[in-house]
Structure formats: C-alpha cells, structure tokens
Amino acid sequence: MPLRNRALAELLGTFWLVLGGCGSAVLAATFPAVGIGLLGVALAFGLTVLTMAYAIGHVSGCHLNPAVTVGLIAGGRFKASEAVAYIVAQVAGAVAAAGVLYFIASGRPGFVTGGFAANGFGEHSPGQYSLAAGFVTEAVMTFMFLMIILGATDERAPKGFAPVAIGLGLTLIHLVSIPVTNTSVNPARSTGPALIVGGWALSQLWLFWAAPLLGAALAGLAYRCLAPKAQG
C-alpha cells in the first residue's frame, strides 16, 4: 500500500479517535439528560480504536498515535523512514477533529470552551495530581498500551482478536488515568484540544509528548526481550 494512502488512513482514524473520544467528554459526559461519566468516556475511546482497527488496520496498521508509531519502530515492527508521514497525518487528523468538535460544541447556547477535554497536571489535572504523578502515569500507561499492542498483533498471537484487546486495553487505561491527567497516552490526541484551549494547555503539552513517547519506546525495546522471535 502506498505511503500516501496509509498516511491518509492514519489521518482519518485519528480524526475519529479524537472526535469520538474527546467528543464524548465535551458533548455527553456531563449533559444532564444523558451524562455518560468517566466510564462512558473511557469506553468511547476504546471503541474508537476498536472500530478503526477493523476499518483501516489492513491499510495502515491503525496506529492513530505518534507514541504507537515510535513504539512499533522500537519494537522492530515499523520503518523509521515512514514515521514522519504517519505522525504528521495523526496530528493533522487530531487537529481537524478538535476543530469540528469545537464547531459543534459552540452551537449550544451558553457554551464555554473550558478544559475542552485537554490534558493537564497540577491545577489542570481533574484530581489535582502533580507534574511528577502525571508524567509517571502517562509513561507507564503508554508502556502498557504498547505491550498490549505488540503482544496482540504478534504473528504468534491468536488471529482476529487484536482490535478487541487493544480497544479494551485503552478503555482500562482511561478508567485508571482520567482522574490524573484526563488521559493522553497519545500526543496527537493531546495536541488537538490544546490548540483550542490555548494558554495553560499549550504550556503543559510537552509532558503529553515526552511521557508517552518515552513509555512507548521502552515498551518496544522491552517486548523484543520478552518475546524474541525464533532464529533460523
């Protein structure tokens, strides 16, 4: 499959992840009649990955996340030469989705941007967790997410179930870490809302690139040690 087609698939998939996941938080999580709460938001993020894995997994591999791309490179599953195209497409999809979500959300009378599903630490953490707590949470959760992805997509793993494992894994990650950072584990997902919120969200965005990329890279290296391929 040409790189252009795969990059476009990544753009579309990341668009859906941010629109569906962040959209559930911005539009539905606290709406009086149908508030879905933390559980609903966590499930929404998991469903976006699960559905896109089946929709575009055969096209691009369905990374939807710069950290996943980096982790797959570290794990020997993806070409480093193609990383820039994937990451640019992922960020573009996230930014486009945030723009569409803002347009929809601002159509409601009395709408205020507020946090707009942005990620944060300190006073901008849902539970007021510190920078250190946020960094460790994001790094460890991304590490585990990549271990799930690398294991579920291993050629030795049961076939056809990877999207389910990955989607449920992301759901669990959100259930644990929404109170700490509002859950990123995905630099593209963090960038889209941060551009809408501006100010504090942009000033804290570095953490939501640095920690997930670190966790993902370590997971790629760790999986090579945990489950090396047979030689010969």
pLDDT for the residue numbered 148: 98
- The whole-angstrom separation of Cα 44 and Cα 166 is 13
pLDDT for the residue numbered 232: 46
Residue 86 lies in a domain: yes
Mean pLDDT of the chain: 95
180 is in which domain, residue-wise?
3-226
**Residue, of 230 and 137, whose pLDDT is higher:** 137
Residue 115 lies in a domain: yes
pLDDT for the residue numbered 28: 85
Where does the pLDDT of residue 1 fall: very low under 50, low under 70, confident under 90, or very high at 90 and above?
Answer: confident
CATH number for the domain spanning 32: value is 1.20.1080.10
Number of domain units in the chain: 1
Residue 231 lies in a domain: no
Residues 142-162: pLDDT tens digits? 999 999 999 999 999 998 899
State if pTM tops 0.85.
yes
Residue 191 lies in a domain: yes
pLDDT for the residue numbered 93: 98
Residue 66 lies in a domain: yes
Residues 23-74: pLDDT tens digits? 999 998 767 667 788 999 999 999 999 999 999 999 999 999 999 999 999 9
Residue 232 lies in a domain: no
Residue 189 lies in a domain: yes
pLDDT for the residue numbered 32: 65
